[in-house]
Amino acid sequence: MEITTRREIWRYSDEQLSTAEDTIAEEFPLTIFLNDVEFATLVCSPQYLEELVIGFVASEGVIRKRDEIKSFNLDEEGGYCHIELHKEIPTDFFKFTKRVLGSCCGKSRQFYHQSDMETAKISMSKTKITPEQCIQLMKEMQDSSTVFKETGGIHNASLATPEATFIHRGDIGRHNALDKLYGYCLEKKISVSDKILVFSGRISSEVLTKASKIGVGIILSKSAPTDLAIKLAEDLNITTVGFIRNKSFNVYSHPMRIDTSALGVDESVSLTK
């Protein structure tokens, strides 16, 4: 499916009004059914939908592995995905979790949710990354963000080793982009505990929680974290790095994963906690 469309718009520039064509990001509702019961509707970019669904149901605590799914039927034309699991799901689970998850920020996702508490993971990652690698991975993520460059309406995220990016995904919903990465790793049976999450947007508490569910120990962003995200990162042992711009950045939590052995560091600055 196409994830962009062309539309005629009116553009004002240099005190002149004219018509032009612009590239617009597509917005697509996808309703998920678990064992024939409606579970959630995701508003997303219509690309890598199988990864999105698998990553989402895993982050919600429905599954832990791809092989827990008995059958997976995706109807892209109708906007439905029917999943049959090998196990039964209690009826109360659907009553508590069923909701519509929009592509916008703020209350489109519920942070204070039981599944978040049950599926968030304390990172045991031993991975370290140098300052130069932080900056390079951010550059790789931005260079791969071709749809954002066309539309300005896409969030982007990548998973990487310290040396290189190995998967990049974009979506109109920041959480969807992360779910696509998670779904890819579940499908390919890739361990993520030693990987690094590179993200284009603000690190909110919801994004931090999603990162913990994926299982990474380091998250890099070109934007800022929120206070609650930093508190969660401290509790969940996740290193958060923000404002990666112009060869500089800020470290907000667990700086011990930033390898500064080749740098001159002020002796009053501790990077061990």
Q: Annotated active-site positions, please? A: 105
* Pairing status of strand 196-199 against strand 155-160: antiparallel
Residue-by-residue DSSP string for 90-115: -HHHHHHH-EEE-SSSGGGS-SS-HH
Q: Quick one: which of 151, 122, 134 has its CA closest to 217?
A: 122
Cβ pair 53, 101 in contact under 8 A: no
Write the CB contacts of 266 (distance below 8 Å, at least 6 apart in sequence): none
Structure tokens at 34: 């678990």
106 beta partners: none
What is the H or E stretch that residue 172 is in? Answer: none
| Dist. CA 179–CA 193, nearest whole Å | 16
